[in-house]
């Protein structure tokens, strides 16, 4: 294909590369790393542009001990998925949106960024060359993880002199061990995920390690994940460690406004568009935590998570439970989005730049 041929492939597909599927237990995929055969890498200097990428076998990367990413966290990641259709073709879901978001993050973290074309070609190339790792339809997806990092050495606090853009992939099933069962979410009051003027609105790697402690605490008490409140008023909903959050009340769907502390999720944006197309009123605004009590439904969105119903939220030792109905707004949005991602419903909002087909 065009995407794969624009990449330099350095080694031949492995011996069993002709098999349609890798030797995997496709019925029991979780969200653990099971690296696909190939990864994509390209580098560039501080003021240069990224060279032509190369595909090589998945393996360790060599970094200077003083690499910017290791010392000062100068790094971004993305997440997108490839789906296998019944006819064997692969589909990507709006990878150009991830490319655009990486550009915003690169600007925030003073990094050069691959062009949108190069990003999308890399993602397509990784999907195609690892096709045998794309699960059978209905069993999961190939999660594709682009990384952009300051790989050159620095000692004083400054942008790194060299950058690496890398894309690897792993087949995945459901993100949460609960599978598709409703999540139990814990509202964290001690820790915050992001603060005004920080990097919470971009996919900086530095947004993730700081929430591990809160997640560990919540998981040890049986919760699925943690919902954070704003760090100024400690009153307004922000997001969950791994996903955005939505509330449904009658015909109105609300989600925290992405005004700097909220990650601009590709799934978040897609769900907002679908909901509006389906006649719901969607509000992006500040949502006081008290509103959770009156919500009809609550759900989370994210690339890894998908559209996941929330069954309960616990705040200050009080637990609010949500009735999970078969015909819910959450279910309607979930099935429409899944239909688009798997090619059953036409993606009218696919980037005009290029098709979603890998
Ligand atoms: C994604 O949804 O792709 C993410 O990056 C979340 C991550 C915690 C798995």
Tens digit of each residue's pLDDT (9 = 90 or more) over 166-204 = 999 999 999 998 888 999 999 999 999 999 999 999 999
Q: Is 203 a catalytic residue?
A: yes
Confidence grade of residue 356 (pLDDT, cut at 50, 70, 90): low
Cβ atoms 221, 154 nearer than 8 A:
no
Q: Which of 169, 147, 126 is nearest to 77 (CA)?
A: 147
What's the pLDDT at 352?
47
Which residue owns the Cα nearest ligand 1 atom 5?
Answer: 79
Ligand 1, pocket-test mutation among 169, 214, 242, 307, most atoms within 8 A of CB:
242
Distance CA 265, CA 101 (A): 9
Distance CA 144, CA 78 (A): 8
Binding site membership of 152 for ligand 1 (Cβ less than 6 Å): no
Cβ atoms 224, 176 nearer than 8 A:
yes
122-158 pLDDT per residue, tens: 999 999 999 999 999 999 999 999 999 999 999 999 9
Cβ atoms 330, 297 nearer than 8 A:
yes
Binding site membership of 79 for ligand 1 (Cβ less than 6 Å): yes
Identify the weakest region by mean pLDDT among 48-62, 312-326, 342-356.
342-356
pLDDT at 354 over 70: no
Distance CA 204, CA 149 (A): 10
Ligand 1, pocket-test mutation among 305, 307, 308, most atoms within 8 A of CB:
305
What's the pLDDT at 2?
41
78-126 pLDDT per residue, tens: 999 999 999 999 999 999 999 999 999 999 999 999 999 999 999 999 9
């Amino acid at each position: 294909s065009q995407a794969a041929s624009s990449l330099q492939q350095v080694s031949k597909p492995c011996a069993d590369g002709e098999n349609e599927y890798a030797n995997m237990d496709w019925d029991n995929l979780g969200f653990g790393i099971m690296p696909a055969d190939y990864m994509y890498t390209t580098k560039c200097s501080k003021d240069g542009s990224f060279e032509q990428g190369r595909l090589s076998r998945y393996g360790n990367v060599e970094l200077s001990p003083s690499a910017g990413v290791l010392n000062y966290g100068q790094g971004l990641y993305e997440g997108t998925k490839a789906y296998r259709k019944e006819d064997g073709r692969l589909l990507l879901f709006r990878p150009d949106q991830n490319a655009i978001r990486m550009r915003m993050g690169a600007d925030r973290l003073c990094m050069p960024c691959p062009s949108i074309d190069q990003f999308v070609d890399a993602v397509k190339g990784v999907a195609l060359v690892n096709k045998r790792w794309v699960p059978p339809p209905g069993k999961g997806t190939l999660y594709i993880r682009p990384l952009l990092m300051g790989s050159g050495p620095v000692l004083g606090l400054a942008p790194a002199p060299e950058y690496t853009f890398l894309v690897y992939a792993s087949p995945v099933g459901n993100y949460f061990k609960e599978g598709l069962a409703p999540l139990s979410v814990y509202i964290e009051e001690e820790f915050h995920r992001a603060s005004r003027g920080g990097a919470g609105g971009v996919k900086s790697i530095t947004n993730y390690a700081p929430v591990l402690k809160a997640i560990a605490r919540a998981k040890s008490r049986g919760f699925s994940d943690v919902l954070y409140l704003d760090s100024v008023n400690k009153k307004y909903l922000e997001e969950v460690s791994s996903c955005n959050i939505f509330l449904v009340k009658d015909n109105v769907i609300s989600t925290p406004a992405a005004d700097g502390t909220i990650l601009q999720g590709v799934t978040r944006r897609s769900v907002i568009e679908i909901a509006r197309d389906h006649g719901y009123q969607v509000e992006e605004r500040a949502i006081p935590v008290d509103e959770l009590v009156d919500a009809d439904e609550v759900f989370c969105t994210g690339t890894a998570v998908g559209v996941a119903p929330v069954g309960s939220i616990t705040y200050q030792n009080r637990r609010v439970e949500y009735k999970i109905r078969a015909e819910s707004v959450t279910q309607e949005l979930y099935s429409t989005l899944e239909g688009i991602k798997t090619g059953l419903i036409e993606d009218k909002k696919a980037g005009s730049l290029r098709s979603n087909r890998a």
